[in-house]
């Protein structure tokens, strides 16, 4: 790596590694919660005509409505921690992967705004228009984020401003694998979460509907992951080596958990399936991290060489710890409040509500 990208006094390993771990935790939360919100867009898109798809769309809207904004903040969190903790990595990634990240940003705008607009619309054609926009952008945004992950993991983002290929950095086998895998995993997570919600709303028909979709998307995601072994072997040997050596336990864990999640779905143990699916996705993300560590931009940029100054890392980590004291109870309250069985309030039962999207 060229000398100037390195900051003069690299941080000690502890603050930098802690920062990386916190960031990866944020990324995991985004993949689980934000990913499920994006995946819900798949099922919204595929729910069928406005009459047939009405119950599924109502459940989707009811489930992600109160939480998607909070779930979305995880992404901002990761972006901010990346530029605070590892500024050269942030600059290199953002400038080289300018195209897919701009498309991601536009997808985020379209998804969030269209979802809010659909909820506030009263007319069928408006709900259809905003709904289509919400659903389409929900599908493409995780794909582009996945291509970004693939570009970084396959070592196509060199340090420096826009030093990598404008197109080749994200239009390559590993990026495409990342994109397809991200989209499939989001769809699977969403279906698993939604069938649990449908069960709690005591709607056996919707429960079965999303259970079948959870099984199908789980099999699809597993197939993509299997095919990915070949892709990585050919296209990203460094990552492949890490996954088959240091990260092997995590890779195996993700495979076992994924299979367990499918089995639990088949056995109608929906809550346990939810936990297994979430853990499987977590294992995938952390196996990537373990395979690549300590390289942030393979092959040469490491955690230590890219880390910000120690005072910055320490101050940010302390602020985050204090913030977490406020955040964690609030977040738990939010989820608890809307995961309880509806208590018969005026808008409590979405599925049978007289006005619902696409109605």
Partner 1 sequence: MITLAPAASAVPPALALSGLPVPPSATAASYALARAAEPGDLAAARAQMGFSLAWHIVLACLGVGLPLLTLGVEWLGLRTGDPSCRLLARRWARALGVLFAVGAVSGTILSFEMGLLWPGLMGRYGQVIGLPFAMEGIAFFIEAIFLGIYLYAWDRLPGRLHLLTGVPIVVAGVASAFFVVCANAWMNQPRGVRLSHGTHGRVVHVDPWAAMFNPAAPPQTTHMILAALMVAAFLTCSVYAVALLRGRRDRYHRLGFAVPFALGALVAPAQIVVGDWAARFLADYQPVKLAAMEGVAHTGSHVPLTLGGVADPDGLRYGLEIPNGLSLLVGYRPGTVVQGLDTVRPAYRPPVTAVHWAFDLMVAAGFFLLALGAWLTAVRLRQRRRHRRTGRRTRWPFEGRGARLFLALCAVAGPAAVVALEGGWTVTEEGRQPWVVWGLLSVRDAVNPAPGLLAGLWLVLAVYAVLTAATVYVLRRLVRDEPVPVAPQDADPEAYRVV
Among residues 18 and 95, whose Cβ is nearest to partner 1?
95
Instruction: Please count the other Cβ atoms lying within 10 Å of the Cβ belonging to residue 209.
Output: 20
Backbone conformation region of residue 268, classed left if phi is above 0, alpha if psi is from -120 to 50, else beta:
left
Q: Is the dihedral of CA 254, 257, 261, 267 positive or negative?
A: positive
Closest CB 140 distance from partner 1, rounded Å: 13
Closest CB 127 distance from partner 1, rounded Å: 11
DSSP string, 63-92: HHTTTHHHHHHHHHHHHHHHHHH-HHHHHH
Tokens representing 37 are 């919100």
Among residues 26 and 196, whose Cβ is nearest to partner 1?
26
Closest CB 208 distance from partner 1, rounded Å: 27
Closest CB 130 distance from partner 1, rounded Å: 8
The tokens 């259970």 sit on which residue?
Answer: 211
Contacts of 147 (CB under 8 A, 6+ apart): 100, 170, 171, 175, 176, 178, 179
Closest CB 291 distance from partner 1, rounded Å: 25
Q: How far apart are CA 324 and CA 96, in angstroms?
A: 33
What one-character DSSP code corresponds to residue 302? Answer: E
| 32 cis-preceded (ω within 30 degrees of 0) | no
Among residues 108 and 239, whose Cβ is nearest to partner 1?
108
Backbone conformation region of residue 295, classed left if phi is above 0, alpha if psi is from -120 to 50, else beta:
beta
Among residues 112 and 294, whose Cβ is nearest to partner 1?
112
Among residues 15 and 196, whose Cβ is nearest to partner 1?
15
Among residues 9 and 49, whose Cβ is nearest to partner 1?
9
Closest CB 322 distance from partner 1, rounded Å: 8
Among residues 102 and 352, whose Cβ is nearest to partner 1?
102
Closest CB 45 distance from partner 1, rounded Å: 19
């Amino acid at each position: 790596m060229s000398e100037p990208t390195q900051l003069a006094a690299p941080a000690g390993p502890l603050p930098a590694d802690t920062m990386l771990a916190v960031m990866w935790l944020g990324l995991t939360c985004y993949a689980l919660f934000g990913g499920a919100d994006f995946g819900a867009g798949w099922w919204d898109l595929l729910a069928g005509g406005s009459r047939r798809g009405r119950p599924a769309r109502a459940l989707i809207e009811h489930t992600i409505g109160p939480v998607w904004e909070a779930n979305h903040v995880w992404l901002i969190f990761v972006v901010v921690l990346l530029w605070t903790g590892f500024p050269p990595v942030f600059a290199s990634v953002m400038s080289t992967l300018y195209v897919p990240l701009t498309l991601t940003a536009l997808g985020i705008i379209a998804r969030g705004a269209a979802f809010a607009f659909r909820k506030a619309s009263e007319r069928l054609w408006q709900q259809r228009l905003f709904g289509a926009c919400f659903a389409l952008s929900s599908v493409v945004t995780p794909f582009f984020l996945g291509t970004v992950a693939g570009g970084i993991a396959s070592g196509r983002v060199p340090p420096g401003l826009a030093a990598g290929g404008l197109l080749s950095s994200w239009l390559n086998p590993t990026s495409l694998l990342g994109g397809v895998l991200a989209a499939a995993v989001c769809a699977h997570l969403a279906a698993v979460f939604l069938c649990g919600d449908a069960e709690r709303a005591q709607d056996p028909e919707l429960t079965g509907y999303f259970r079948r979709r959870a099984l199908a998307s789980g099999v699809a995601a597993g197939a993509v992951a299997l095919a990915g072994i070949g892709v990585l072997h050919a296209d990203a040997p460094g990552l492949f080596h890490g996954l088959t050596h240091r990260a092997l336990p995590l890779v195996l864990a993700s495979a076992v958990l994924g299979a367990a999640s499918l089995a639990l779905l088949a056995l109608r143990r929906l809550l346990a399936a939810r936990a297994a699916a979430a853990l499987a996705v977590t294992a995938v993300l952390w196996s990537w991290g373990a395979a690549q560590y300590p390289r942030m931009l393979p092959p040469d940029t490491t955690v230590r060489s890219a880390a910000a100054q120690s005072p910055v890392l320490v101050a940010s980590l302390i602020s985050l710890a204090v913030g977490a004291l406020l955040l964690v109870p609030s977040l738990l309250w939010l989820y608890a409040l809307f995961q309880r069985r509806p208590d018969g309030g005026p808008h409590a039962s979405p599925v049978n509500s007289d006005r619902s999207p696409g109605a």
